[in-house]
Structure 1
Amino acid sequence: MDQVKYHSTQNENIGLIQASYQRFTFRKHFHLDFHIGLITKGQQKFYSQGTSHTVGKGQVVIMPPDELHDGSSMYSNGYQVRIFSIDPRWFSELAELNSGSDQVQFRQLIISNPTLFQHMIRLHQALGTHNLSQLAKDCLPYEGFEFLFRHYGTIQPKGTVPLGNQSISTLKDYLMENLAQPVKLEELSQLCELSPAQFQRHFKAKVGLTPYAWLSRLRLEYGFKLLKSGVSGTEVAHQIGFYDQAHFSKAFKASYGISPSKI
């Protein structure tokens, strides 16, 4: 049986997920945040970075922001996972980045390190409890993720993926500022100085999704953040450009396996 629980922490940049998946399948998607998954039972299969992967109990998966991937259970008995959702800006603070042209990355997609795994499990459990002092809750993330970054993290220049006379990142910024607007293909193609056919073809080749599917995911990801901040589902649907709350709820559940009211 599929069960998903989302938890906020004292740090608004860090969210927690505890889930058991059996039948639910994640279609191709991406996140705006880092997702660090800890497989606690069973095996998951997913496709990312041009390769099919299998990950099982005791392994850590680090999925960077904007990385296209899918996910499902390897076997019929399902798998269980604990996940950290972390704003990239928080990792930049941890790494003491002073340049906006650099970013935190990790050298491995899948990590098999029992010591690290148990360390991260204890951190996930601690951040989800209410029996800690405020200072402990403030300090634990820095202590816990510093261990991960020290052993597997790196600092690299931000890459640029060109699209016409723009880049994917500038296009993303433009769409994030216009999530509630009825964006047209011609509008985006003119922004990049491409024909609509060229834009559609080049975008799909470089991103792996159609412009429409990409925009839909951006809307849902931002909607998720709004829900976690306490904004009502009706207002979220309005702010991210859905026709009404019913359409938003249907799309949200299909993508995350849970209704917006459960966040």
Structure 2
Amino acid sequence: MPHDKVNYYATAHQALHLIEADYQAFAFSRHYHLDFHIGLMIRGEQTFQFQGRQHRVGPGEMILMPPDELHDGRAALDRGYQVRVFSIEPHWLSDLADLKQNGEIIDFKRLIVSDPQLFSQLVNLHQLLAADNLSALAKDCLPFEGLNTLFDRFGSRIRKPNYALGSRSITTLKEYLLANLDQAIRLPELAKLCDLSLTQFQRHFKATMHISPHAWLARLRMEQSFKLLKAGQYGTDVAHAVGFYDQAHFSKAFKSCYGISPSQLQRR
């Protein structure tokens, strides 16, 4: 029976987390992240759909996945794949790039990168940070050094796109939902927030985000719960904070998204 192994690690930077995974059977359904995910393919091959196209990535290649972009992911071969991931909050990369103009954000020129020297450098960085036997100063400095090289070679600065949804933007809607995840959010209040009818809101949202409002909110709850758990909050408190009133249902939804239970994440 195939067995998946997933480890999550904190670092000295609250905005930077590490993932080390060996996926044999687990497949990601369509989802998005609030953070950048820099994936290093160690072994095997992964296939995923992104912006309407199918992609395949193999050993020694890197995936530079931006936040808020729908994608899925599964093993391309029966033997599965092993990947190491840097999960980076957008503001941390923005600070790294020293953005000087309001409205600018970080982007990458490519989705899949083949750069053996940089790949080796980032794998080594991931191992050092996960081992947690560095000096305090090294923990602080090394991520900037390694990821700065990545940005210098493949990063770019772009104007932040303003995806309108009626009288509001998707960014405003996300902020509203994040502030109210513990509430029973209803379609009429979202439509009213954007000055749209119920039908208009659903149609415009699906056309803009390529996912239903319900599915988008469900993923937003999971992304926020992950951050709260990594910050040390108790699972029961997190479940209530993101709108679950039953710990069992929260645990089931979390494991479906991440491949491990909330309690497993907290012990790492």
Among candidates 64, 67, 83, match of residue 65 of structure 1: 67
Q: Does 1:132 align with 2:142?
A: no
> Is 1:239 aligned to 2:229, yes or no?
no
Query: Aligned with 2:131: secondary structure?
Result: coil
Is 1:176–2:184 an aligned residue pair?
no
Summarize deviations over 1:204-248 as a string: whole Å, max 9, x none: 121111101101111110000000010010000011111211111
Q: Flag as ranges the 4+ runs of structure 1 deviating above 2 A.
A: none
CA distance in 1, matches of 2:141, 2:193: 44
In 1, the alpha carbon distance for the partners of 2:158 and 2:119 equals 25
Q: Secondary structure at the match of 1:217?
A: helix
One-letter amino acid matched to 2:87:
S
1:28 maps to 30
How many pairs were matched up?
A: 263
**Structure 1 counterpart of 2:169, one-letter code:** S
Unaligned runs of 5+ in 2: none
Give me the identity figure in percent: 55
Structure 1 counterpart of 2:194, which letter? C
What is the RMSD of the two structures over their aligned residues, measured on CA atoms? Answer: 0.8
Residues in 2 aligned to 1:242 and 1:216: alpha-carbon distance in whole angstroms: 11
Partner of residue 195, structure 1: 197
User: Any idea what the Cα deviations from partners look like across 1:182-209, whole Å, max 9, x if unmatched?
Assistant: 1110111111111111111111121111
CA displacement 1:37-62 (0-9 Å, x = unmatched) = 00000000000122110000000001
Q: Whole-Å Cα distance in 2 between the matches of residues 16 and 226 of structure 1?
A: 15
Mapped to 2, the partners of 1:209 and 1:50 lie a distance apart of 13
Partner deviation per Cα, 1:13-57 (whole Å, 9 max, x = no partner): 110000011111100100011000000000000001221100000
Alpha-carbon distance in 2 for matches of 1:158, 1:184 = 28
Alignment deviations for residues 148-172 of structure 1 (CA, whole Å, 9 cap, x no partner): 0000001111001111111111111
* Matched position secondary structure for 1:128: helix
Matched, 1:10 2:12: yes
User: How far has the Cα of 1:249 moved from its partner?
Assistant: 0.3
SS of residue matched to 1:194: coil
Asked if 1:259 corresponds to 2:261, the answer is yes
Residue matched to 2:111: 109
**Distance in 1 between residues matched to 2:54 and 2:103, nearest whole Å:** 31
Q: CA deviation at 1:100?
A: 3.4
* C-alpha distance in structure 2 between counterparts of 1:147 and 1:51, whole Å: 28
Distance in 1, matches of 2:77 and 2:138, equals 39
Residue from 89, 94, 109 that aligns with 2:91: 89
2:78 is matched with which residue?
76
**5+ long unaligned stretches in structure 1:** none
SS in 1 for 2:243: coil
